[in-house]
Amino acid sequence: MSGAGNDGRTITVRNLLQHTSGLADYIYDVSPDPSAQTYFANRWRAHKPEELVDLAMRHEPAFPPATTGHTPTRITCSPE
């Protein structure tokens, strides 16, 4: 994983599971308008994990891996 300053070589499985990977949250890319109307119109839309990782990689890291913070991108990037 790389892009926009992200370096997957520095992110461990532990970072992903502890929400400390620093990867940007993709929720605002998936749902930029938090209105109820938008929610109900798109609530059943499914995204492939690869699509969500691509969205997260468009943004600079929120923080360096394993330092601080919380990011919900962990499950999408966790190995199978």
The per-residue pLDDT for 72 is 64
The per-residue pLDDT for 78 is 56
| Cα 47 to Cα 20: distance, rounded to the nearest angstrom | 23
Angstrom distances, CA of residue 38 to CA of 25, 61, 80: 19, 27, 31
Question: Which structural domain range is residue 73 located in?
Answer: 2-77
The per-residue pLDDT for 34 is 81
- Name residue 6's beta-bridge partners: 3
- Ranges in the chain, pLDDT < 70: 1, 71-80
The per-residue pLDDT for 79 is 56
14 exposure class (CB count in 10 Å sphere: 0-12, 13-18, 19+): exposed
The per-residue pLDDT for 42 is 85
Please state the domain count of the chain. 1
Give the phi and the psi of residue 4 in degrees, each rounded to 5: 55, 35
The per-residue pLDDT for 55 is 87
